Amino acid sequence: MKTSKKGYLKNSPDVNKPQNIIKGGNITMKGVEFKVLGEDDNGYRKLMYPGNDYSFRHANYVTETSMKNKITKQTFQELWGTK
For the chain, the structural domain boundaries read 19-80
Spatial contact of 1 and 33, defined as CB atoms under 8 Å apart: no
SS3 74: helix
**pLDDT for the residue numbered 3:** 96
**pLDDT for the residue numbered 83:** 52
User: Is a pLDDT exceeding 70 seen at residue 55?
Assistant: yes
**pLDDT for the residue numbered 22:** 98
Query: 28 has which bridge partners?
Result: 53
What confidence tier does 77 reach under pLDDT thresholds 50, 70, 90? Answer: low
Report how far residue 77's alpha carbon sits from residue 82's, in angstroms, rounded to the nearest whole number.
Answer: 5
What confidence tier does 1 reach under pLDDT thresholds 50, 70, 90? Answer: confident
User: Is a pLDDT exceeding 80 seen at residue 48?
Assistant: yes
